[in-house]
Amino acid sequence: MESEPKKLLLRALAGERTERPPIWLMRQAGRYLPEYHLTRAEAGGMLELCNSPEHAVEVTLQPIRRFGFDAAILFADLPQIAAALGQALEYKEGEGPVLSPPIRSAADVARLSLAGLHQELAPIYETVRRLTVALPPDVALIGYAGAPWTVATYMVEGRGGGPTDHAAIKQWALSDPEGFQPLIDLLTEAIAQFLEKQIEAGAEAIQLFESWAGILPEPFFELWCARPVAAIVKALRAKYPATPIIAFPRGAGLQYDGYVEATGVDGIGLDSTVPLAWAADKVQARLRRCVQGNLDNQLLVAGGAAMHAEADRILAALGHGPFIFNLGHGILKTTPPEHVEALVRQVQSWRA
């Protein structure tokens, strides 16, 4: 009996120059899809949706059915791990996730605990297990978590949505790095365990979202973005060396340079500002790692010739691989689904 051919996304993450790039899009399951709203309403709300494997599987599958993406990403919400550590999580209309009380001191950190982690996150593991059965055989399943610094911003600011100047976390972290470090250490351990369980449940690749990589001066970026991600990569590699890991340090700027080496990730997500020549020369050619990105999400809203021209530019520069086509940030809720359809068709018909 022949072994199954390896999925396109996993081949790209293994450093292979695939005949065409696989494509998936951050937030591909979400508010721009009418069927998502129906399922969310049926579940009774955001948290209910995330904690109901039946509904979470359904919304994960919706964009796969509609567009034929090459990968599905587990539907769950980034702040759920904060709730699993003991912070109260609720969703307020128009505000997004609210975490209370905010974590602002060593005493607050000491009240958090790993003890209930896996019990709280059990519905997520069940969602992953069901997805391994429900997904088409050529679609890879990506598990995910927020990276420690990004989850910490949610926990300290007390909210996960909307714009913020991150005054609370920066005041604490920058003025008392030693006092703040235990929160990062706790999150590093929790996230590594969370991802291990996702892999055990059937996740074939992992993405770490570092949405707030762009707000730290260099020494603190190294301390709280690069190092904890390196520790998580090391922990996962020790147990599951075959599972590739993508990190997406959005807004890292010049600190993108050195991040792959510092963390050891298999793939790096590029935000929309990253010059393609840097990614091709440095990451693909020199480091021989996979890059993922980086169409501007407003161009997916715009659609048409402007979108196709930018997608072409990205494909021409990076499409020879190893490469995964994606956006430079999550899909916006204003995105017309037919633009997604057209983009997927463009990428999937392109040849290296």
176 is catalytic: no
Strand 88-92 relative to strand 96-100, pairing: antiparallel
Q: How far apart are alpha carbons 256 and 278 in whole angstroms?
A: 10
Strand, helix or coil for residue 248: strand
Residue span binding its own copies (CB under 8 A) among the ranges 35-43, 76-84, 232-240, 294-302: 294-302
Strand, helix or coil for residue 275: coil
Q: How far apart are alpha carbons 131 and 57 in whole angstroms?
A: 6
- For residue 104, the one-letter residue type is R
144 is catalytic: no
Let me know: does 210 contact 247? Beta carbons within 8 Å. yes
Q: Return the residues of window 151-190 that contact its own copies according to CB under 8 A.
A: 162-163, 165-167, 170-171, 174-177
> 261 CB contacts (<8 Å, ≥6 apart)?
287
Handedness of CA 80, 148, 162, 30 (dihedral sign): negative
Residue span binding its own copies (CB under 8 A) among the ranges 62-70, 84-92, 136-144, 213-221: 213-221
Question: Closer to its own copies at the Cβ: 15 or 258?
Answer: 258
Q: Of 27, 104, 159, 250, which residue is the catalytic one?
A: 27
String of contacts with its own copies for each residue 221-260, x by CB under 8 A:
x-----------------------------xxxxxxx---
Q: Of 17, 31, 129, 227, which residue is the catalytic one?
A: 31
| 316 touching its own copies, by CB under 8 A | no
296 is catalytic: no
Catalytic positions: 27, 31, 40, 77, 154
Positions touching its own copies (CB under 8 A) are 162-163, 165-167, 170-171, 174-177, 214-219, 221, 251-257, 271-276, 278, 294, 296, 298-299, 301-302, 304, 306, 310, 313, 328, 332, 334
